[in-house]
Amino acid sequence: MLLLALVLAGLAWEGYKLVGDEDGGSVFGVRVLPRADDVSMPHLWEIAQRLADPELSAAGSHSVLVAVLLAMWFTFRVAFVGWLIGVVVGLVLAVLMQRVRVAEAALLPYVVVSQTVPLVALAPLVVGWGGHLTLFGRPWQPWMSVSLIAGYLAFFPVAVGALRGLQSPSATQVELLHCQAASWWQTLLRLRLPASVPYVVPALRLAAAASVVGAIVAEISTGTRGGIGRLIIEYAQSATGDPAKPFTALLGAALLGVLGAALVSLIELGLRRYAPAGSGEVRS
């Protein structure tokens, strides 16, 4: 299915180049369709060719593919740490909000408001704080700021999804455990957490996408080197002379998102016995 989707996307791209106007479509002077010329939309094979070519004109330069893969690996690690932070913080917040009703009333508005603060505004602040911090005796690293910002984006879907999931058991199920003299902790482990799985798994997937986007945006706005975010900016500068190059970095960023979603599918596979009745099969 994934392969078919990729082929269709490729066909759409090349098909538009075939029929689309070189100068794009305009209605009353406003361009509504993108330009189809080779600078705006290079052919797919040109992008593939560019991946194989050396990154820089200097002798001994490795290929663009290697550069993109290295950047992806860097951003993946940073985004993964951000995802972990987001998942842990999101789950802890959800359990707290489920446990103490006052906490839900007090925290949930802030959780929602937190997502309206623009990342670009937040990034320099985090970097500024990080400059004064040490972590277990080690100085704060720039990538830690990026992970933190990625986690800031990732915790939101987890907190909201897990809260709904923890509240999903029926009154009968909750009362039964009460009658069986189950402690709060036992009720959490035996009832609420298992019941929350169908809500948490989609939240984990959203968090994976959010942490990749968060890491890339944070790399750009903090000026962190080594990741795919930096590569996107660098390659964009050569867009006029080397139109295929920026697309290689974009391709890498998209692949990171797919990779994150795929890893969550592995988690889903491991938790499939908690899937709701009738959906025993995991989507592929």
Partner 1 sequence: MTPAADGAAAVEVTGVSKVFRQAKGEVTAVESVDLTVAAGEFVSLIGPSGCGKSTLLRLVADLVEPTSGDIRVFGKTARAARRDQDYGIAFQAAGLLPWRTVSANIELPLELHGVGRAQRRERARDLLELVGLADFAKSRPEQLSGGMQQRVAIARALAERPRLLLMDEPFGALDEMTRERMQAELVRLRDETGAAVVFVTHSIPEAVFLSDRVVVMSPRPGRITHVVDVPLAARNEDVREAPEFYATVTAVREALRGRSVAPGAEASPTEPAIEPRGADLR
Q: Give me the residues that bind partner 1 (CB under 8 A), please.
A: 170, 172-173, 175-182, 186, 190-191, 194-195, 197, 273-274, 276-278
Which helix (H) or strand (E) segment holds residue 264: the answer is: helix 244-270
Q: What's the min distance (Å) between Cβ of 183 and partner 1?
A: 8
Q: Which is nearer to partner 1, 172 or 240 (CB)?
A: 172
Q: What's the min distance (Å) between Cβ of 205 and partner 1?
A: 20
Q: Which is nearer to partner 1, 132 or 273 (CB)?
A: 273
Q: What's the min distance (Å) between Cβ of 237 and partner 1?
A: 53
Q: Which is nearer to partner 1, 98 or 196 (CB)?
A: 196
Q: Which is nearer to partner 1, 128 or 276 (CB)?
A: 276
Closest CA to 213 of 149, 128, 281, 284: 149
Q: Which is nearer to partner 1, 189 or 254 (CB)?
A: 189
**Alpha carbon distance 102, 58 (integer Å):** 63
Q: What is the amino acid identity at position 119?
A: L
Following DSSP, what letter does each residue of 21-74 receive, concatenated?
Answer: -TT--EETTEE-S---STTTS--HHHHHHHHHSBSSSSTTPPBHHHHHHHHHHH
Token pair for 97: 């909000």
Measured over the CA atoms of residue 231, residue 218, residue 74 and residue 3, the dihedral's sign is negative
Q: What's the min distance (Å) between Cβ of 232 and partner 1?
A: 43
Q: Which is nearer to partner 1, 180 or 238 (CB)?
A: 180
With 0-12 CB in 10 A as exposed, 13-18 as middle and 19+ as buried, what is 70? middle
Count CA within 13 A, CB hemisphere, residue 228.
30
From residue 270, alpha-carbon distances to 25, 99, 267, 278 in Å are 49, 27, 5, 17
Q: What's the min distance (Å) between Cβ of 267 and partner 1?
A: 16
With beta carbons less than 8 A apart as the criterion, state whether 231 and 219 touch: no
Q: What's the min distance (Å) between Cβ of 193 and partner 1?
A: 11
Q: Which is nearer to partner 1, 191 or 231 (CB)?
A: 191
**Alpha carbon distance 137, 166 (integer Å):** 38
DSSP structure class, residue 272: G
**In sequence order, which ranges of 53-192 are alpha helices (DSSP H)?**
64-99, 101-114, 119-130, 142-166, 171-179, 184-187
Q: What's the min distance (Å) between Cβ of 165 and partner 1?
A: 13
Q: Which is nearer to partner 1, 124 or 276 (CB)?
A: 276
Q: What's the min distance (Å) between Cβ of 141 and partner 1?
A: 41
